[in-house]
Amino acid sequence: MKQNNNNDWFVLYTKARQELKVLERLTHLGIKAYTPTKIEVRKWSDRKKKIQTCLLPSMVLVCLHESEINQVFDVPGVKRYLFFNGVRAVVFDHEVLAMKSFIKNTYQLSEEKGLGSR
């Protein structure tokens, strides 16, 4: 893992289907957090409804300094960090920006073209 003075993005595992609530609670605590979402139309037998769904199931990205890592466990719904080769996995800032840009462009285009709706 690289050592620097900037905050790093880490991946948190959450309880199932708790990503948006955890994101809201982390933001309320002043922690910079992000989870990619999209709006999709779900169809039931009696209605259609637009639902905000997460693209990374049970995962939230948090931007923290190494000394603030344990703050996230004060939030209900947080399980643990994602580890890779025994080290807390780090996501670089340019990767998060690229993900945000890709999601914005992809789903903005699909809404303009009317894909996924009937």
pLDDT tens, position by position, 15-45:
999 999 999 999 999 999 999 999 899 999 9
Gap between the Cα atoms of 20 and 18, Å rounded: 6
pLDDT on residue 1? 42
Q: How many domains does the chain have?
A: 1
pLDDT tens, position by position, 37-69:
998 999 999 999 999 999 999 999 999 998 899
Q: What is the CATH number of the domain that holds 45?
A: 3.30.70.940
List, in sequence order, the alpha helices (H) in the chain.
19-28, 93-113
3 falls within a domain: no
Gap between the Cα atoms of 64 and 7, Å rounded: 5
| Reported confidence tier of residue 117, pLDDT bands at 50, 70, 90 | very low
67 falls within a domain: yes
| Reported confidence tier of residue 4, pLDDT bands at 50, 70, 90 | very low
Range of the domain at 29: 8-113
